[in-house]
Amino acid sequence: MKSSFLAYIFCLCIFLSPESVFSQSKSSFRVIPLGVKGGIDESNLSSYALAVEGTEEYVCLDAGTLNFGIQKAIAAGIWKGDATEILKSKIKGYLISHGHLDHLSGLVTNSPDDSPKPIYAMAPCIDVLKEKYFSWKSWANFANEGEKPALGKYQYKVLEQATEIPLEQTTMNVKAFALSHSNPYQSTAFLIRHKEDYILYLGDTGADEIEKANNLRMLWQEVSPLIKSKKLKGIFIEVSFSNEQPDKSLFGHLTPRLLMNEMNVLNELTGEGALKGFPILITHMKPAGDREAVIKKQLNELNKLGLNLIFPQQAKLIKL
Ligand SMILES: [Zn+2]
Ligand SMILES: [Zn+2]
């Protein structure tokens, strides 16, 4: 009787709080992928709602899909209530990596029902939003600058290279780094900080060797000390194509081989073993036939460093 009671209590503990039972390190961030793909499926395009664990103050890292991702998160029991109300109340701002539609179409189409909030991006991306999307020819100008009348719901916040600013209405901060996405077209990496904890999110990017650039090397130099000190909790990075994609048709994207080359550069900076078990979250696979399965297989085969490869799924909560 007594032992079965103890077994019952033990099971209850596991059920209620698996992390506190089995893991010493508490998670620092929670991520709800609202969309994960790099094309075709308009209900599932790059957007990651990120908050500090224990808070409901999210920012969206890119905004390809918003409403459908929130609906799925409600269906999955992550959020409760109405999708539009959640968008209005829980999403405190958008960080947009670059001006391609698969990273911002959700922001544009949801804008009539959204609440006032900032849009954080580097200058070239703000220019695209201003000139191409929040203009009266393609939509309505819901932002605070650009074609008149400017409705002023969104406030553009221009991010400068390697300069940290606070993310309003959250306890997070962001530092931006330019990426090369089919040189000279620019994309952005966001280094998010809460106290001593960090997350790195990269928008679309090519490899340094293909782009004839050193943007990624500079980024790896910036974050390698944070990996060594275990302050960086994970890196979101794209792999759009499989290894079969010819170099001339990469259009500023990565393949498993090119990602692992970059990880080797990072590994040289962090020192042997530091990347073992480190979370690398693979984003932006471009659907076509069985390409997504091929990418996963190739990444796993090339994973000599022992990275913890994570493949985010829409509305599947990630704790880092
Ligand atoms: Zn993209
Ligand atoms: Zn792109």
- pLDDT exceeds cutoff 60 at 126: yes
| Cα 102 to ligand 2 centroid, rounded to whole Å | 7
Paired tokens of 3: 């032992």
Ligand nearest to the CA of 252: 2
Chain Cα centroid distance, residue 220: 17
CB 249 within 8 A of CB 169: no
| Cα 64 to ligand 1 centroid, rounded to whole Å | 9
d(CA 47, CA 92): 14
| Cα 209 to ligand 1 centroid, rounded to whole Å | 20
Average pLDDT over residues 84-93: 98
Ligand nearest to the CA of 47: 1
User: Residue 18 — pLDDT band, cuts 50, 70, 90?
Assistant: very low
| Cα 84 to ligand 1 centroid, rounded to whole Å | 25
Mean pLDDT estimate for the chain: 94
Which tops the pLDDT comparison, 1 or 99?
99
Helix (H, G, I), strand (E, B) or coil at 302: helix
d(CA 204, CA 102): 10
Per-residue confidence (pLDDT) for residue 26, from 0 to 100: 84
Ligand nearest to the CA of 46: 1
User: Residue 31 — pLDDT band, cuts 50, 70, 90?
Assistant: very high
Radius of gyration of the chain (CA): 20
| Cα 218 to ligand 2 centroid, rounded to whole Å | 20
| Cα 280 to ligand 1 centroid, rounded to whole Å | 18
| Cα 36 to ligand 2 centroid, rounded to whole Å | 13
Helix (H, G, I), strand (E, B) or coil at 6: helix
**What is the percent of the chain with per-residue pLDDT over 90, rounded to a whole number?**
92
d(CA 138, CA 79): 32
Ligand nearest to the CA of 99: 2
- DSSP β-bridge partners for residue 61: 48, 95
Ligand nearest to the CA of 35: 1
Ligand nearest to the CA of 64: 1
Ligand nearest to the CA of 40: 1
Longest dimension (CA), the chain: 76
| Cα 243 to ligand 1 centroid, rounded to whole Å | 18
CB atoms closer than 10 angstroms to residue 228? 13
Ligand nearest to the CA of 182: 2
Ligand nearest to the CA of 105: 1
- Is the Cα torsion angle 285, 287, 288, 290 positive or negative in sign? positive
